[in-house]
Structure 1
Amino acid sequence: MLKRLGTILSASALAVPLAFGPARANGTEELAPYKMIRSLQYVQDSVVLGDHSASEMQRFMLTAIDERLRAADPSAFRDPRNVDAALVYVMSGGNPATLDLLAGRDIEGNFDSRVTEALRQYLNGKGPLIIESLTKAAPEYRNSRIGPYLFLILGNAMSQQDPVEAMKHYDWARLTAPGTIIEEAALRRSVSLAARAGLPEKGFRYALNYARRYLTSPYASQFADVFVELAVAHFDEMADGRVSEILSFMDSARQREVYLRVARRAAIAGNQPLARLASKRAEELAGDDGARSQVLASFYEGLAAVPSADVFSATEALDAIPEEKLSLRDRALRDAAKAVADAVVRPPSAESLAQAPAPIAERRPAGEQSGVVAEESGSGISPFGEPAEEAPDKRSEDPSDAGTNETDVAASGDPVLDGFLASGRSKIEEIDALLKGEGL
């Protein structure tokens, strides 16, 4: 760590004069842009490998490089390394306007217009528009310095239309840039795409590689989110072993957190066996100092039991949990679960027997959207943060959910059953809405 810090400080010592004065500093020639980019890459890779103290240096380096590129003479870009430096800078979270400035000054054709135009559209949020042009241009840069960056961006742009092909681009990006922020981003996103494409084995393999290398990354929380989705959507006996293997690289506290996330998602999705299993694993990992974790594990296990034959015991277990032990969102979740349980055990009234329920669409709360929700992006510019894209459907893919969709409810023909199932689905939608805004 001390050696790494010394290297970073050395890089900053070289960059400081450049940030505040052109031409020369202390009698030495100013650094070429490609030399400064090497320092930036080192700092970024240090951050995802766990040296979070380097984050401030990353911001400083981006500012210094921006000033250096804007002050550079156009003849400097006759050196292809400086052209690559400008492209890497903007693909690493730099100012897109700087690339526009440099491309506008280029009268010698040093910048590839196909690449600069693709990056301009991508950074303006028009990723799908670059797929065709960048698919043709990127192979020419396959073994170049900017190759891994271009394939990472191409994978980002293609992830919605063709997840399987996007994973191939991520594979190339990470294999040509091992141990870097590019590999970290490519692995993390590949887990999400594999889950969406119904390829759990690939997803667990990507997750294992990520857990071995990048659990100290500041983006590890995003990895935890997509890993939980993968585990809940594709959990079986074989997946149980894979999940345990991946979590073995985490300390007990992180394992407990992931199991609690799995228990929550599984309880909402109606996957009772998984919710109980994950809750028990979280309880086992709680230890003497995990009182709140034990409460949450018992809480999620109780939620999972609400739709079962043991609904009375589940309701008693939920009532026994002290309210102060739960967050506001979990209190709302408990209230929703109790409402469902009350609907299960409440005898039908004469009015309910005489009335058919209103259509499901009419019972949806005002203003609620039925479509998918767009995920927040990471930086909005850097290709390493989570890209802005449509989130995959959060509903469980478990076969036990079959028969409870809207079509089945409408087609049952029994007004009482229709009303009960519709009420249950309405509560589940409310629960999902509560969970959309939280990190778990």
Structure 2
Amino acid sequence: MSGPLRFFVLIVLVWPTLCVAKANAESAEIDAQPVELVRTLQALQDQIAAGSTNAHVAQRVLLDHIDERLLAMEPAVWQAPKSIRAAIIYVLSGGKPGILKKILSLSDLPKSEGLLAQGALAYVEGREEDAQKILADVDVRTLPATLSGQIALVQAALTLRDGPEKSVSLLDFARLQLPGTLVEEAALRREIFVVAQLKDTEKFDALSRQYLRRFRYSVYSGNFRQRFASALTRLDVTKDPDYFKRLVATLNELEPAGRLELYLMVARAAINQGQTQAAVLATDKANELAMGDASSSARSKLYRAAAIIVTSEGFDEGATELKKLDRSLLPASDLELLDSALAMATYIRRVPEGGVPSLPRDQAQIRADNVVQKPTAIISRAQEVLGAIDQLVRKESR
């Protein structure tokens, strides 16, 4: 990070906090220092949720500064429950875990805060089983709001595998505790994908619309959009005739460029999962939005061709479109898809007119391996006959 930016961060964000801490250093409010430092961090992270890339860059500087300050504090500071709670929030917000180790090495800690510190430390160190044992019985409703949201996020992650419904409930709680913060953004982003796994399309729609309205500019929205597209195709948007209409209504919350990118993501994810109709619907919408954007238009045509090439009625159209595409307009990842789709077209053309008899999956794999030497990137299953291609796709996507 450049010197001027570091200076700006320390002056604008950290200096007021340092002044407050210094003024209170010899007073009875010494135990408020960790709280003030963490409040500064939370204010910065709220800017990240609102889309500030500068805040995202500055976060590392501030975290390092807070780490130094916390580790330098006297043991007496950590006898106050609110100081320990602040340290827990700091670590769960991306801070280094060393401060929790220091706190836990002290004697006569407040019991409940000591327990939470143990659980938080286990979680950030990847000891999920220990974290689950320690935090399982913690009632987040009894904690202060600033801490309860963070602990609820942790509990939601720990219960997701065995209790997704409970995870949803905890994420609901976390986002409602701290509206407008990075905690709410994270809880909402995670919950959307949990309800997608549960096939709760109504809640998926409602939460997705809320995220796109309120956190579309979040620094983490790019990750959200990729996972959102994948989740949509797992829900199979074509099974319910009205679902794609609801999707269009949801995406209309975005600016045209954002809608275009999401439709392209949905189309590509649909191809990967063998959802031909969903891919076609998404590419048609993308093509409408790609006016004047040669690269996006080429991507849209590629995805549509790759989707329909595995259908008997769409093979000729798809193969023709693939050959016409201008490779210079496609990014590297899409060039791999184009090459894979062309290889598939060659494979399909070798199929006798009567069709390929149904083969055991391992035999189909051998046949496909003889034609396509490397794993295909994103091509769909291509009906029952091309089930081997799906295996190749999954290998590369791992």
- Normalized against structure 2, the TM-score is what? 0.83
Q: Does 1:325 align with 2:329?
A: yes
CA contact 1:138–1:151 (8 Å) conserved in 2: no
Q: Does 1:297 align with 2:300?
A: yes
Compared CA separation, residues 214 and 208, structure 1 to 2 (3 A): same
Matches within 5 A, 1:132-147: 132-139=133-140, 141-147=142-148
Matches within 5 A, 1:27-426: 32-109=33-110, 112-139=113-140, 141-234=142-235, 235=237, 236-288=240-292, 290-309=293-312, 310-348=314-352, 359=363, 404=384, 421=385, 424-426=386-388
The one-letter amino acid of 2:170's match is: H
CA contact 1:262–1:278 (8 Å) conserved in 2: yes
Compared CA separation, residues 129 and 245, structure 1 to 2 (3 A): farther
1:4-40 Cα shifts (integer Å, max 9, x gaps) = xx99954322246799x99969xxx897111111111
The one-letter amino acid of 1:264's match is: R
- C-alpha distance in structure 1 between counterparts of 2:154 and 2:379, whole Å: 28
Other structure's SS at 2:59 match: helix
Compared CA separation, residues 311 and 361, structure 1 to 2 (3 A): closer
- C-alpha distance in structure 1 between counterparts of 2:41 and 2:151, whole Å: 18
Other structure's SS at 2:94 match: coil
CA contact 1:177–1:183 (8 Å) conserved in 2: yes
Structure 1 vs Structure 2 CA RMSD: 3.4
CA contact 2:263–2:285 (8 Å) conserved in 1: yes
- C-alpha distance in structure 2 between counterparts of 1:94 and 1:24, whole Å: 23
CA contact 2:79–2:110 (8 Å) conserved in 1: no
Gaps of 5+ in 1: 1-5, 366-393, 405-420
The one-letter amino acid of 1:73's match is: E
Higher helix share: 2
Structure 1 range deviating more: 237-246 or 79-88: 237-246
Q: How many residues align?
A: 374
Gaps of 5+ in 2: 1-7, 370-377
Compared CA separation, residues 259 and 435, structure 1 to 2 (3 A): farther
- C-alpha distance in structure 2 between counterparts of 1:328 and 1:124, whole Å: 37
Aligned residue in 2 for 1:431: 393
1:193-238 Cα shifts (integer Å, max 9, x gaps) = 1111221221111111111111111110121022112221221332
Aligned residue in 2 for 1:13: 15
- C-alpha distance in structure 2 between counterparts of 1:358 and 1:276, whole Å: 30
Tell which has more relative contact order, 1 or 2 (C-alpha 8 A, sep 6+): 1
1:290-317 Cα shifts (integer Å, max 9, x gaps) = 1111111111111111111231221111
1:155-213 Cα shifts (integer Å, max 9, x gaps) = 01112222221011000011111111110000000111111122122111111111111
Compared CA separation, residues 22 and 59, structure 1 to 2 (3 A): farther
CA drift of 1:253 comes to 1.2
CA drift of 1:55 comes to 2.3
CA contact 1:138–1:150 (8 Å) conserved in 2: no
Other structure's SS at 2:311 match: coil
- C-alpha distance in structure 2 between counterparts of 1:99 and 1:255, whole Å: 43
The one-letter amino acid of 1:285's match is: L
The one-letter amino acid of 2:100's match is: L
Compared CA separation, residues 138 and 65, structure 1 to 2 (3 A): farther
CA drift of 1:85 comes to 1.0
CA contact 1:256–1:286 (8 Å) conserved in 2: yes
CA contact 2:256–2:289 (8 Å) conserved in 1: yes
- C-alpha distance in structure 2 between counterparts of 1:274 and 1:108, whole Å: 57
The one-letter amino acid of 2:341's match is: A
CA contact 1:329–1:435 (8 Å) conserved in 2: no
The one-letter amino acid of 1:14's match is: P
- C-alpha distance in structure 2 between counterparts of 1:306 and 1:165, whole Å: 42
Structure 1 range deviating more: 232-241 or 115-124: 232-241
The one-letter amino acid of 1:213's match is: R
Aligned residue in 2 for 1:371: none
CA contact 2:145–2:178 (8 Å) conserved in 1: no
- C-alpha distance in structure 1 between counterparts of 2:122 and 2:134, whole Å: 11
- C-alpha distance in structure 2 between counterparts of 1:186 and 1:314, whole Å: 41
- C-alpha distance in structure 2 between counterparts of 1:9 and 1:108, whole Å: 34
CA contact 2:152–2:173 (8 Å) conserved in 1: yes
CA contact 2:10–2:62 (8 Å) conserved in 1: no
The one-letter amino acid of 2:269's match is: R
- C-alpha distance in structure 1 between counterparts of 2:251 and 2:360, whole Å: 49
The one-letter amino acid of 2:255's match is: D
The one-letter amino acid of 2:178's match is: A
1:386-431 Cα shifts (integer Å, max 9, x gaps) = xxxxxxxx999xxxx8984xxxxxxxxxxxxxxxx2xx23323333
- C-alpha distance in structure 2 between counterparts of 1:129 and 1:201, whole Å: 35
Other structure's SS at 1:160 match: coil
- Normalized against structure 1, the TM-score is what? 0.76
CA contact 2:67–2:96 (8 Å) conserved in 1: yes
Other structure's SS at 1:287 match: coil
